[in-house]
């Protein structure tokens, strides 16, 4: 079978949505009223830490698809003031979030034990819109949330090959600015900055899915100990270290793009490695100059730059059944699935969605039961399911 990214079609039930006159849809999606609708129609569980588990109404997969959002819509009314990265979340909230992640991932792997049968993934993407909120494609809910998704492998095998020039695949590696010009220094910085015990560097082809050939060119780490390691707080600290390293690399690079010979940023997580690895590397600084010169010449190019850290961080199961962590810069419009070469084409089709819905809800309610049992929240009743 030919290896390459796949494009699948996922049906969904159209959502009746009345956007107030004068508002753009993505402005409305950031509102407290829209989050109320999400809770009442799709909410599964909530807890005092403002973490909300919900059914993805516009999902990636109708096999298993749910999210946890840090629902700060009522406590932080300014959308630009809401946490959008794990590193911005209070420690007590992150502790609860990590436990929820562990239980949901454990359930997915229990339900789908065979990597030949199912692609299992979980992770988050930054939602900090660095363009005006009215720009097309800006994330619809400016709050940190993560995804838990399962795709049937037979569906992926039968799906058509995706166009390699699909803009949603640009962060898979082949068009990435980091990978095209700074791949070696990118990896060197991670190697020297991060003190890892559970996460072990993993290189292609071990980290790639044979079916899609993805991830492409991205740094990857194997979780030694597998799913049991997710019960260790050390793993989650290392997971955060990877994000901190990525943020330092991203912010340092774009500070050099913005201002030639800019000093080390005062809130860098790894200032010594920033100075010794990044700011003394010719490839790193030549690339910054290349981008800076283009920004000066081309207003449209400069306007498309994401000056603040934009990322996707992912845990997934490879073909050998190993759990792998990877991270990539995020482009607007990209979904987290595309790091693994899966492009999701969502189409309105209520009848097709309703065929899959009972089994999907059954799985979501079971994982909710486990979270309630672990004292991680209380069930939410909707017209589709009871509180439990």
Nearest residue to 127 (alpha-carbon basis) of 141, 117, 113:
141
DSSP state of 4: S
Nearest residue to 117 (alpha-carbon basis) of 87, 148, 152:
152
Predicted confidence at residue 140, as pLDDT, reads 55
Distances (CA, A) of 19 to 24, 35, 78, 266: 8, 13, 19, 42
What gap in Å lies between CA 261 and CA 108, rounded to an integer? Answer: 47
Per DSSP bridges, beta strands 51-55 and 43-46 are antiparallel
Q: Please say whether the dihedral angle defined by the alpha carbons of residues 54, 57, 61 and 62, taken in this order, is positive or negative.
A: positive
Q: How would DSSP label each residue in 183-241? A: HHHHHHHHHHH---SSEEEE-TTTTS-TTT--S-S--EEEETTGGGGGGSHHHHHHHHH
Please give the structure tokens belonging to residue 57: 């109404």
Distances (CA, A) of 51 to 71, 296, 362: 6, 42, 21
- For helices 183-193 and 282-297, give the axis angle rounded to 10 degrees: 120
What gap in Å lies between CA 316 and CA 148, rounded to an integer? Answer: 10
Please give the structure tokens belonging to residue 171: 């962060």
- 215 preceded by cis ω (within 30°)? yes
Predicted confidence at residue 202, as pLDDT, reads 94
Tokens 């034990």 correspond to what residue?
A: 113
Instruction: Kindly give the confidence (pLDDT) of every residue in the chain, 388 residues in length, as a single tens digit, with 9 standing for 90 and above.
Output: 799 999 999 999 987 777 888 877 767 776 777 778 788 889 999 999 999 999 998 889 999 999 999 988 888 888 778 888 888 899 999 999 999 999 999 999 999 999 999 999 999 887 655 555 555 555 556 778 899 999 999 999 999 999 887 777 765 444 567 777 888 999 999 999 999 999 999 988 899 999 999 998 889 999 999 999 999 999 999 999 999 999 999 999 999 999 999 999 999 999 999 999 999 999 999 999 999 999 999 988 887 777 888 788 999 999 999 999 999 887 655 578 988 999 999 999 999 999 999 999 999 999 999 999 999 999 999 989 999 8
What gap in Å lies between CA 331 and CA 352, rounded to an integer? Answer: 30
What gap in Å lies between CA 328 and CA 178, rounded to an integer? Answer: 9
Nearest residue to 83 (alpha-carbon basis) of 122, 148, 31, 141:
141
List strand residue ranges (DSSP E) for 307-354, in order.
311-317, 323-329, 342-348
Per DSSP bridges, beta strands 145-152 and 199-202 are unpaired
Predicted confidence at residue 174, as pLDDT, reads 46
Nearest residue to 230 (alpha-carbon basis) of 154, 165, 148, 134:
148
Predicted confidence at residue 127, as pLDDT, reads 62
What gap in Å lies between CA 169 and CA 8, rounded to an integer? Answer: 14
What gap in Å lies between CA 127 and CA 138, rounded to an integer? Answer: 8
* Angle (CA) 79 76 57, round 5°: 65
Nearest residue to 67 (alpha-carbon basis) of 55, 84, 50, 57:
55
What gap in Å lies between CA 245 and CA 249, rounded to an integer? Answer: 6
Please give the structure tokens belonging to residue 172: 């898979």
Residue 387 CB partners (closer than 8 Å, separation 6+)? 378, 379, 380, 381
């Amino acid at each position: 079978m030919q290896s390459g990214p796949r494009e699948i079609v996922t049906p969904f039930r159209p959502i009746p949505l009345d956007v107030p006159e004068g508002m753009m849809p993505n402005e409305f999606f950031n509102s407290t009223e829209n989050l109320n609708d999400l809770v009442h129609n799709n909410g599964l569980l909530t807890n005092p830490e403002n973490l909300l588990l919900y059914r993805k109404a516009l999902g990636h997969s109708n096999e298993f698809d749910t999210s946890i959002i840090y629902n700060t819509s009522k406590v932080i009314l300014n959308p630009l003031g809401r946490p959008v990265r794990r590193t911005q979340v209070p420690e007590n909230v992150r502790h609860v979030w990590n436990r929820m992640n562990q239980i949901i991932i454990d359930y997915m792997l229990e339900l789908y034990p065979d990597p030949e049968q199912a692609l299992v993934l979980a992770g988050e993407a930054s939602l900090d819109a660095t363009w005006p909120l009215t720009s097309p494609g800006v994330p619809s809910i400016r709050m940190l949330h993560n995804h838990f998704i399962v795709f049937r492998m037979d569906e992926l095998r039968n799906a058509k090959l995706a166009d390699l020039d699909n803009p949603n695949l640009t962060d898979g590696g082949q068009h990435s600015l980091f990978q095209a010009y700074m791949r070696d220094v990118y990896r060197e910085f991670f190697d020297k900055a991060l003190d890892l015990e559970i996460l072990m560097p993993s290189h292609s082809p071990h980290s790639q899915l044979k079916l899609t050939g993805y991830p492409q060119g991205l740094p990857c780490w194997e979780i030694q100990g597998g799913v049991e390691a997710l019960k260790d707080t050390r793993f989650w600290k290392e997971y955060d270290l990877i994000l901190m390293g990525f943020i330092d690399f991203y912010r340092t690079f774009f500070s050099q793009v913005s201002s030639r010979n800019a000093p080390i940023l005062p809130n860098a997580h790894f200032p010594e490695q920033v100075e010794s690895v990044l700011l003394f590397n010719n490839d790193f600084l030549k690339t910054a100059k290349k981008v800076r010169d283009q920004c000066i010449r081309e207003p449209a190019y400069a306007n498309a730059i994401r000056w603040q850290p934009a990322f996707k961080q992912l845990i997934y199961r490879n073909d050998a059944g190993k759990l792998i962590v990877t991270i990539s810069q995020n482009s607007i419009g990209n979904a987290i699935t595309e790091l693994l070469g899966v492009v999701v084409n969502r189409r309105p089709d209520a009848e097709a969605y309703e065929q899959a819905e009972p089994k999907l809800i059954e799985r979501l309610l079971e994982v909710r039961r486990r979270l309630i049992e672990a004292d991680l929240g209380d069930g939410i009743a909707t017209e589709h399911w009871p509180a439990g």
